[in-house]
Amino acid sequence: MATRILRDLTGADEAAAAIRVRGLTRVFGDHVVLDGLDLTVAPGEFVALLGRSGSGKSTLLRILGGFDDEVSGEVLAARRRAVVFQEPRLLPWTRALGNVVLGLPGADVDRRGRAALAEVGLAGRERSWPVTLSGGEAQRVALARALVREPDLVMLDEPFGALDALTRIRMHALLQELCRRHRPAVLFVTHDVDEAILLADRVLVLTDGRLSLDVPVGLPTPRPRAHPAFAALRARLLTELGVRDLAEAAT
Ligand SMILES: Nc1ncnc2c1ncn2[C@@H]1O[C@H](COP(=O)(O)OP(=O)(O)OP(=O)(O)O)[C@@H](O)[C@H]1O
Ligand SMILES: [Mg+2]
């Protein structure tokens, strides 16, 4: 049933939105995973996407990344876009710098690659082989690989899910700093409700193939978890995810 594939936003549309999805449907066999989904993300907006396991978050990112076109509906995204996955997906046979600049056109590719590595705190590690990098370092190389393309839209699929709690906190600060500097639109998939509230301007919940909740975070930054509005939004999101009772029982 492939009727329409991902297209680039152009002209005035590109100035108005980084993502525009209308009536997106994705079916695997008789399993309807995305069911007429609508989504608009503004330029520079940081949007977190929550949803139960198997709700279709990665499916949506794969479509927006251009890796899956067996869909129906309208799917438009900023021309310059990059995806960061849960695992860094570095090529083992090329060094950190080679991974960052892989496939990049232009004359001063190495200089740009070095600058991107420096931005993620990996200056001096250009010649490191992927196997010698820690999980956090490898994920920072993956972030540099996304950044060096100067994207208007960055999509991240549980990018910090495999990292320990301390590295995760550092990665949050790094991502926030990079977003302040480059102002891309961000679509950030996570399982972690607190991570979503800490980072995002707006939080979405994907349920039964559509966005069942779309709420602005509206909290000042930095966002203390003890803030009553933080707790209220956490409770609302956990309820929407159908796990509030479980979460309360565990604390
Ligand atoms: N290539 C495929 N063939 C058949 N079914 C698929 C395929 N890809 C995904 N699915 C199904 O689509 C549904 C959504 O999968 P998806 O990976 O998007 O979920 P998710 O929300 O990212 O889950 P998680 O939080 O566990 O990562 C699942 O039921 C999955 O089994
Ligand atoms: Mg997933």
What are the residue ranges spanned by the domains of the chain? 91-150
pLDDT value of position 221:
82
Q: Can you give the pLDDT at residue 132? A: 98
Give, to the nearest 10 degrees, the angle between helix 135-147 and helix 109-119. 130
Secondary element (H or E) of residue 196: helix 193-199
Whether omega before 184 lies within 30 degrees of 0, making that bond cis, reads: no
For the Cβ of 54 lying below 6 angstroms from any atom of ligand 1, the answer is yes
Chain centroid to CA 9: 19
pLDDT value at residue 183:
95
**Residue ranges with CB less than 5 Å from ion ligand 2:** 58
Ligand 1 center to 149 CA (angstroms): 28
Dist CA 199 CA 222 (whole Å): 9
Quick check: helix, strand or coil at residue 30?
coil
pLDDT along the chain (251 residues), means of 10: 70 91 97 98 97 96 94 94 94 97 92 95 97 96 94 96 91 92 96 95 98 95 88 96 77 62
pLDDT of residue 193: 96
First to last CA, the chain: 46
Mutate to test the pocket of ligand 1, among 27, 30, 32, 33 (most ligand atoms within 8 A of CB): 33
Beta bridge partners of 21: 39, 75
**Burial label, 246 (beta-carbon count in 10 A; 0-12, 13-18, 19+):** exposed
What pTM was estimated for this model as a whole? Answer: 0.94
Closest alpha carbon to 193 in 239, 127, 136, 162? 239
